[in-house]
Structure 1
Amino acid sequence: MNWEEVKRDVIAYSRQIGIDKIGFASAEPFTELKQRLIAQQQLNYQSGFEEADLEKRTNPALLLPGAQSIISIALAYPSKLKDAPKSKRGERRGIFCRASWGQDYHHVLRDRLQKLEHYLQERLPSAELQSMVDTGELSDRAVAERAGIGWSGKNCSIITPEFGSYVYLGEMITNIPFPPDTPIEDGCGTCNKCIEVCPTGALVQGGQLNAQKCIAFLTQTKGFLPDEYREKIGNRLYGCDTCQTVCPKNKGIDFHNHPEMEPDPELAKPLLRPLLTIGNKEFKEKYGPMSGSWRGKKPIQRNAILALAHYKDETAVPDLIGVLCNDPRPVLRGTAAWALGKIGAPDTGDVLEKAKSAETDEDVLKEIEKGLSLLQNR
């Protein structure tokens, strides 16, 4: 079998089904990555969302016995929101990160990988294949780097020469001996913009991220947000794009290659106040198709409260009082109490004192005290 010829055919077919870039890597263990992951664990820099078994994360043969190569794919997503609605007084808006615009990318990439699987199985009936996207065991970025899709930037994203870092990644382990591609040389050079502007200092150094401090991670947590990060969230409802938007390699990059990735401006940048009382059914109908909804509505509602505090939006005070007095979830009641103190509208002290007398949850009571303290220190 002429594997170079098969590889060329696979590349041609990938373009037909809407894969923007494809690369091929060996299925050798990722030994260097393993050492980095061990260090990350020791430093407690991991988010906890990752696969816990480091052997599975770094040895493709454990996921597919007889693995010989890995196919890496990349799909470019939009970076600019057309007809973006304006956030204005009384109608403040939050923002979902670009990677959450449009249809959930997991579904989009799985569709492309499934088509690629069917093609390979028809062409090579003995082919054994194992595909994954984001939530799989392997590191998408490590595979993409080895496959020559792009280099691993200081912002911990894969940066491609063609599409910048605005790409979704997926991979397929195979028992096919595809000739590997050559990794791309690092293109970051002496640039440190992403490290310098990271809002929480989560980028410890080039290529090393403390996920526990990363806003993209923090927006997905479900508990009370630590005090030191509340004001740094800004109006972000899910994710953070700062380390990408400042990257010189992303300047002028904006691809609209895939209809299913096109964002609805009203969902990508929604009004904040309606989010506080949105029901489960409406939330699933509106936001369910977006990847940013995977943790449910509670983190997004908490972040919406923090965003209203960020704007010091007095028009939202009645909504926040409603959450404080009526929401059954302590995290939202407590965050609303803190936000009311932050906004500092007239009579807020009376509202907080009344809520304090009726509240039984210790965590919420602490947040009410924080709100009262903010009022006193204005």
Structure 2
Amino acid sequence: MDIQTLKQEIIAYSKEIGIDKIGFTTADPFTELKNRLIRQQELGYQSGFEEPDIEKRTTPALIMNGAQSIISIALAYPSKMTYRVESKKGERRGIYARASWGQDYHHIIKDRLQKLEEFILMKVPEAQLKSMVDTGELSDRAVAERAGIGWSGKNCAIITPEFGSYVYLGEMITSIPFEPDSLVEDQCGSCTKCLEACPTGALIQGGQINAQRCVSFLTQTKGFIPDEFREKIGNRIYGCDSCQTACPHNKGKNFHFHAEMEPDPGAVKPLLKPILKLSNREFKNRFGYLAGSWRGKKPIQRNAMIALAHFKDETAVDDLIEVLENEASPVARGTAAWALGKIGGDSAEAALVKALDHEADIEVRNEIEKGLNFIK
């Protein structure tokens, strides 16, 4: 088998199946990444969504016996909608981050990796292969950086010269010793626009993030959003793009290569009030195909209430009162109380006073009292 010829055939085939960029690297341990992850863990900067075993995250041989190389792939996604729906008084809208536009990218990347696997096995039937995306053990970004897909920006995203950071990533460990590709030179220079744009100061310094402060992480949690971050979230109901939109390397980058990535504007910029009344089935039917639905409806509903407070949407008071009075979830009741206080008005105040008389949950009572203090 001529490995260099095989590599060129894989590159050519990747273009046929809709992979926008492909790179190859060794399966050597990610030593520098390991040191960074240990430091992140010591500082408490991890999100908790990651693979907890740092050895597995940084040692491909622990994931697949006979690992020789890793193939990294990138698919570019749109940064602008073909047509937009507008948020207006009485019909306020939230926003999903760009990485959750179109169909869930996990399925899209897995489809491309599966096709790539089938092609390689047709050429090398005895090859061992293991593919993963996002939820796998390896760091997609670390693999992509070492495979020459792009450089690791100060915003902790992979920035490609061709597509900016608007790319989905995936990788495949192989038992074939492909020749590694060259690194892409870091082009961030002295620019700090992403750090300055981060609404919560989650970007501690270039290349280091405190996930516990990241709006994208916060929108995916299931508990109460800490007070200091609620107003920073604005109308984001899933994810955050601030550090991407601020990046000069993303200016003018907007690619519509893949039909399954095209956003439905009404879904990725949805009306907020109807979200509060969705059943689990209705949520799944409306938003289930989006990557941003993976945590279920409750975090989205909580974020929608924070967004309604952001807009001070008086037309949402009755809906929020209904949540306060009838919702089983303490987080939902408490967030509704906080939002009612932010919006204010006689009806909101009366509902909060009434709720305080019978609410037993301590955290919810605290939120009700916060709401009343806003009004007073």
Common fold by TM > 0.5: yes
Q: Deviation digits for residues 66-101 of structure 1, max 9, x if unmatched?
A: 111000000000000121110000000000000000
Distance (whole Å) between structure 1 residues aligned to residue 361 and residue 66 of structure 2:
55
Moved more, 51-60 or 358-367: 358-367
TM-score, reference length from structure 2: 0.99
Find the counterpart in structure 2 of residue 348 from structure 1: 348
Q: Is 2:376 the partner of 1:369?
A: no
Distance (whole Å) between structure 1 residues aligned to residue 129 and residue 310 of structure 2:
48
Post-superposition offset of 1:16: 0.4
Find the counterpart in structure 2 of residue 58 from structure 1: 58
Find the counterpart in structure 2 of residue 246 from structure 1: 246
Distance (whole Å) between structure 2 residues aligned to residue 121 and residue 237 of structure 1:
42
SS in 2 for 1:347: helix
Post-superposition offset of 1:346: 2.4
SS in 1 for 2:276: helix
Find the counterpart in structure 2 of residue 305 from structure 1: 305
Q: Deviation digits for residues 295-354 of structure 1, max 9, x if unmatched?
A: 000000000000000000001001101110111111011000011001112232221110
Listed as ranges, the matches of 1:200-239 within 5 Å are 200-239=200-239
Paired AA for residue 130 in structure 2? Q
Find the counterpart in structure 2 of residue 42 from structure 1: 42
Paired AA for residue 184 in structure 1? V
SS in 2 for 1:169: strand
Distance (whole Å) between structure 2 residues aligned to residue 349 and residue 171 of structure 1:
53
Moved more, 352-361 or 267-276: 352-361
Distance (whole Å) between structure 2 residues aligned to residue 144 and residue 316 of structure 1:
44
Moved more, 353-362 or 302-311: 353-362
Supply the RMSD in Å over aligned alpha carbons.
Answer: 0.6
Contact 2:40 2:46 in 1 (8 A): yes
Distance (whole Å) between structure 2 residues aligned to residue 243 and residue 122 of structure 1:
42
SS in 1 for 2:346: coil
Listed as ranges, the matches of 1:167-316 within 5 Å are 167-316=167-316
Distance (whole Å) between structure 2 residues aligned to residue 80 and residue 294 of structure 1:
23
Contact 2:24 2:71 in 1 (8 A): yes
How many residues align? The count is 376
Find the counterpart in structure 1 of residue 21 from structure 2: 21
Find the counterpart in structure 1 of residue 10 from structure 2: 10
Identity of aligned pairs, percent? 69
Distance (whole Å) between structure 2 residues aligned to residue 285 and residue 253 of structure 1:
31
Contact 2:149 2:184 in 1 (8 A): yes
Find the counterpart in structure 2 of residue 70 from structure 1: 70
Find the counterpart in structure 2 of residue 31 from structure 1: 31
Distance (whole Å) between structure 1 residues aligned to residue 181 and residue 83 of structure 2:
40
Distance (whole Å) between structure 2 residues aligned to residue 294 and residue 367 of structure 1:
27
Distance (whole Å) between structure 1 residues aligned to residue 347 and residue 300 of structure 2:
27
Distance (whole Å) between structure 2 residues aligned to residue 351 and residue 34 of structure 1:
52
Distance (whole Å) between structure 2 residues aligned to residue 270 and residue 241 of structure 1:
17
Structure 1 gaps of 5+ residues are: none
Distance (whole Å) between structure 2 residues aligned to residue 9 and residue 218 of structure 1:
43
Distance (whole Å) between structure 2 residues aligned to residue 64 and residue 182 of structure 1:
24
Paired AA for residue 51 in structure 1? E
Listed as ranges, the matches of 1:332-347 within 5 Å are 332-347=332-347
Post-superposition offset of 1:222: 0.4
Distance (whole Å) between structure 1 residues aligned to residue 370 and residue 322 of structure 2:
18
Paired AA for residue 323 in structure 1? V
TM-score, reference length from structure 1: 0.99
SS in 2 for 1:92: coil
Flag as ranges the 4+ runs of structure 1 deviating above 4 A: none
Q: Deviation digits for residues 78-127 of structure 1, max 9, x if unmatched?
A: 00012111000000000000000000000000000000000001100110
Structure 2 gaps of 5+ residues are: none
Q: Deviation digits for residues 18-38 of structure 1, max 9, x if unmatched?
A: 000000000000000000000
Find the counterpart in structure 2 of residue 149 from structure 1: 149
Q: Deviation digits for residues 275-311 of structure 1, max 9, x if unmatched?
A: 0011111110111110000000000000000000000
Post-superposition offset of 1:8: 0.3
Distance (whole Å) between structure 2 residues aligned to residue 98 and residue 268 of structure 1:
8
Distance (whole Å) between structure 1 residues aligned to residue 123 and residue 3 of structure 2:
12
